[in-house]
A and B are shown apart, each in its own frame.
Chain A
């Protein structure tokens, strides 16, 4: 292989990206050395098994990926803003929409959700940590490895270019000869293993680690949504694992599962992909529903309306999510009967989803609504997501889908679902739980500015796409002629995208501004909230709760505050915590080498690093680690420091 094939060449933007990667890397290394932070970074973050810190690392990675995916989106909107634009060529555009989809779904939405789950779930159920803390660290490092591997493809070897769904035979070696789709199969595989482990970890955590009295039907709604999501992960991700493995065999080892000859079947890939892909949508949206349930209840000063029907509707959604995958390809020619079946199952999902919408609305009825930043995002979610929902029902009708499929109408629909559904939720959750983790709120004034920019610009960006779709503009078109008449609406959409970008810049500036100027909280409960995570101090001590909480009903903290039911009625005892470990991050590094070597079919390094993976795993199994014990005196001292008083 020649060096000019190894590195991607010939594009000024890519040289810019290379230069900035090198500069940022140098800046990080120099900065860490100058401030003598290497030890701190290693001890406190890279080797941590603390669920809160792992959660924070997930969220930081997700924010960075949000900007990578966002730049892709801006380039796409800029390219299509005017007819016959020459900003990007077809190949570059294809790579960008592929990575935009992959990054936003797998390396932004999922890790953001999982990050919030990591921070919040153990606190909400009154646990000290997740069930398997070290496994949790492995999950994070595998996700991070996958994300870095995929991002590296941009400058080394070339990005995947067959769409985020990588339909065969387009993604086969014959039609996509670069290593781009090798990156696809390996980066997704590695981070997918991490996600699968997270799913298992959280199922066990929620089922086994709840504080005394925290019955299943007393759990906060976010924890319920996390439990159901984890179950979906455990059932859906193995399908992706198999599909990606077959893809890897096809591309790297010359097998013929999905190719055009020797009995290969391209439709098999589409089925496997969407059997995972549709539940994946619910993996990112159910926890978002959980976040909204917490926030709307808190800022309406009311308990969640219809708790039981909320739980039941999520269970129904999770079951139906496995029965709808063929609606992604009604046009594949499976006939009216099959399409009719999948139309009905798909539309059926709108019933439990509608139940949730009405429950949120009735939570606000007779409430006392305050318009904080997290609440604004939650309020914007309801009307915008409803548009996404009803257009989803329209798309579910197989016959009508023959006209919507692959068009901008579809693109508008899923952005109307995923942005208010997931992105607004994680931003709302970010603002809501930020003071819990860091001990100070994000600035409300800047937060609201960012909100209005984002909410309005979102509609300006995506509403025109419904009409472009009905006018016949298909997705993934890198250019169009002026006669098509697609120009004006695309230009409006680009203007909206600029507004969205500006909103996100304010959001990031707000983080910087608040770190510097925001007043520090003295109380662990700045929002007058209802659930257990607000019962401990902010920032949260490593052991979460000095005394194991004793839960007597739903909204445990609210009852404690208003009905005089103490949560902490035990006495302080020594606490056992897991000790840090460097092995998860080392495992991630070895997986990176393994994946990278396989991408380029460098067999010797691949075999060596493959063996190294087994060695690291084996050495973990033989670790005799009894963890650390925090003494009563230490706990007393920490609590005094955090609360400014003794218990």
Chain B
């Protein structure tokens, strides 16, 4: 099943030296075809394998009210027949060649990716160009596929109270921007989608000048350029709809949402409106927020697992996220379940989490904590280069958000420079009540307290 995702995953690749020459990833080569298609090639000769990703800059945040889910439904439909392939044949071709493929939709962009032996790269590019321009979007395939999308929604969202809560929370957390729209779409909107709406959406956004092609692996830029020109070069550039980066209110006010479910372990989700790398006045704040997230919850010895999971058995599955790469504003979120084996009220957990955030505001973290978090983030960026798909996904994140690739290297420098005082500073600046949306999942109150 193709997965949508609400947060984009992936890490900025390492460009700075870590003390040895080979710590430097080679710079990707970039060129733009006459029709505006941006092509980025990252050479990695370790194995004769290549990953190709087609990134189209349209996602749920572009969708008008009442038509949520358009981008994701379109992603599904693109595999159901084109000029060159029969419905369902795309994945079969890739599998028969020993490769793998998948696709996902985010709020900002949609990605189609294939991994194949490198000498078969041309098949991937021909398939990619066919996705971008040759989709059939036939009525009968729409009817079948929209059922699949509705089933996906039921199985991946509606049957999971934490997922439903997450959707409602996003709708509160982004009062002014398209980031409130769920990637998969609201159920009543999915039911109202039409083949024509999808065709219009496809014609509006699927153009070479709104897409990037990322190729990572055992290939050279020149070779990719030749193949890209052969398969994508004939596609005409098109006038694109106007689209503004999603920006949020400076002080949206405290918001809450609450749902109940009889069978769930109580769960808390908190999110602060914060800038992303694209919208931050001070890029250093972004690096400090990234480091704060790692300091709080990355690893068993991070603050929250240590203090609220083992020292006090209050929570389980603590998760702290900050997606810094986006075309608009972002959230800094914390979520956790209560400890089911020693259940305390959800309010106790909320109180404890808030107290931990207050402590960050009151006292800068120790140097050792900052170093631990920083070392972890830096090492992760090296480890992420082990998988071609990881490298390509990281590039896709920047390209899909239309951010300069040079910022990947800057992110590294900025991370190196973060101090304990800056962590305290971003905590004081952003972890405020006016920026906070809190979501609660509880079991219905028993008749007595």
The answer to whether A and B belong to the same complex is no
- List residues of B whose CB falls within 8 A of some A CB: none
- List residues of A whose CB falls within 8 A of some B CB: none
